[in-house]
Chains A and B, each alone.
Chain A
């Protein structure tokens, strides 16, 4: 079999040829462009009107990475839900409920048994949080799949039920949380990798990118398909490595505050050395999100599970006729979404170093918005994990940007976010019409 796939046609302008040869998702390029515009816009606004551009600074970008993490984590699951033509409105409330229970667990229940600061406390709490989220999600999934109640209704009910449950469980804020548990949140320099660790991670990630590229080429040539041009693949891989190393450089350039240096060296029993400077490095929640993104991308593109999610979204009847157990698939996807909400509750409450029954209010809507801005179609069948992360980045960039330029009031943020959501979907519609 020496049949070759259609070689990229040599016609067309250089940009079109470039995009075809690299097989980059054009929608992705547009979204990244929009994101960079937002970043530049906020920075320039600050530079021109407030005498200092605060957006494109290591400090802000580091905070942005932490803020994006928990929305991004949940958005990866929402992509699957929406691809399957379902919706989950309950995740913000699941976050709140699971957060409160985890708070009670580590502060009121486990400390008396295990003693303050026992390492099992955070392990048990984290496992319990993930399990609770998964069980709640699976329960809602069973109602949706086997009792045929629309997911909009089931999860709207869930939104009310789990929020109510959070209030019933605790009327007040639970704080402070376990010291190790708090590291999941990325609040402060101790919840980050440090400079050396970050460089190591970045280099390993680059090696992984190159390895994946080579494996992909091998698989194509084994079956006699025309490989993509070497320059195109080198460019994509090289660019990805550059972004990874650049990100490491940025987070490493954000130095610890002097107060934290003092705490650190006090613990060591040493005076703060002259001119000591520690970079933050990658925040733990960011790393958690990256692991989730990689795992979910593999799940969606390289496994039967992911293929079935797409197929069910494209044509539920055809999927069932192909022998796919569509009901079990729904339960699994909702359970996965619930587990991700549990993980977001871990990251969210750790970041605040407290569990409150109001955590996650409105977050289901931001998560859905992130997935949709990222190109997930509410009609089902279409969506990407990386798109949802870009969507989450767009949303948190708008929020932090508004704060930085002095519109920190929540009402303005919401108005801008709402407009951005509608605008993003409109631009997507225009774009899709044009490529048809």
Chain B
């Protein structure tokens, strides 16, 4: 059971963001505790990814507050997010296809030697270490990631998020491109990270994955928050109802 008595790891309070007059996110409040997985659900265009990009620094909120461990923080760009130990696995993976796995893993945070030059050997060695843990079958270290399969690319993106000791992890449909075996590996990884005390926002369409992996689920529709429910207290149908109808189920609506 997740302990929700202390200060939340992350609080997104009353976040709004609009693009050209269209309210993509409209006064949404969600929170996340250490060791917890919160699923973000909703139709395409409901505003899940946009909301989460305010936290990862890809977008800037128009209004609202972001609190990390109870402290309000400004996240103006991805570098700010990284310095708050927020790591993101984007749906598009955000890999530079023309460079190898190590270059992607360390992109923006390269290891350098004492003269300030890239230390490629050390970066490759570190990449081999973490990939040995996440995906032991991974062998293609010296080719551009464009030459990798979908699952291999996904594991590079995951390795990048995990390597830098994230405290807050954002996963945008991490299993969408994966086969059953790899999906299982991601599920195990999420359990492991949870046990280490990370908080994870998980954007997910597959309702079974949500029921299996998440502690709470926040449902969005048309940019607004429909509600946040404890996954243990609801059924698949309750959540589907929230997604489709945009209403909390009657027995929880109190």
Contact = CB atoms under 8 A, between A and B. Distances in A.
Contacts, number: 91
A302 interface: yes
A330 to B, nearest CB: 16
Given A322-B78, A324-B107, 9 more contacts: A1-B125, A1-B128, A6-B139, A219-B121, A303-B118, A304-B112, A318-B96, A319-B107, A323-B77
A9 interface: no
Given A318-B107, A322-B78, A323-B79, A307 B99 contact: yes
A402 to B, nearest CB: 36
Contact of A311 (B93, B107, B121): B107
Interface residues of A, number: 31
Interface of B: 56, 58, 77-79, 82, 88, 90, 92-99, 103, 107-110, 112, 116-118, 120-122, 124-125, 128-129, 132, 139, 141-142, 144
B124 A314 contact: no
B139 to A, nearest CB: 7
A315 B95 contact: yes
Looking at B78, B94, B97, B108, the one whose CB has the most chain A CB atoms below 10 A away is B108
A9 B95 CA distance: 29
B94 A321 contact: yes
Secondary structure at the B interface, as helix, strand, loop or mixed, is: loop
Contacts of A222: 121
B117 A322 contact: no
Contacts of B118: 301-304, 307
Interface string A296-326: 0010011110010011011101111111100
Contacts of B132: 3
A396 to B, nearest CB: 29
A382 B94 contact: no
A314 B107 CA distance: 12
B98 A313 contact: yes
6 contacts: A6-B142, A223-B124, A224-B125, A302-B118, A321-B94, A381-B97
A220 interface: yes
Nearest to A382: B98
Contacts of B78: 320-323
A311 B79 contact: no
Contact of A322 (B107, B121, B124, B129): B107
Nearest to B112: A304
A411 interface: no
The 6 closest A-B pairs by CB, nearest first: A314-B96, A314-B98, A322-B108, A381-B98, A323-B79, A318-B94
Interface string A1-35: 10101100000000000000000000000000000
Nearest to B93: A318
Given A320-B78, A321-B58, A323-B78, A311 B124 contact: no
Contacts of B99: 307, 310-311, 314
B136 to A, nearest CB: 10
A324 B141 CA distance: 23
A75 to B, nearest CB: 20
A210 to B, nearest CB: 19
Contact of A303 (B107, B116, B144): B116
A222 B120 CA distance: 12
A139 interface: no
B92 to A, nearest CB: 7
A225 interface: yes
Contacts of B98: 310, 313-315, 381-382
A230 B142 CA distance: 20
B94 A3 contact: no
B116 A223 contact: no
B96 A319 contact: yes
B121 A223 contact: yes
A324 B82 CA distance: 12
Contacts of A311: 96, 99, 103, 107
A412 to B, nearest CB: 38
A3 B128 contact: yes
A5 B121 CA distance: 12
Contact of A1 (B79, B107, B129): B129
Nearest to A379: B98
A301 B110 CA distance: 13
A323 B79 CA distance: 5
B95 A5 contact: no
Contacts of B88: 321
A322 B94 contact: yes
Nearest to B83: A323
Contacts of B121: 219-220, 222-223, 225
A219 B82 CA distance: 29
A307 B90 contact: no
Given A220-B121, A223-B121, A303-B117, A323 B82 contact: yes
Given A3-B128, A5-B141, A310-B98, A317 B92 contact: yes
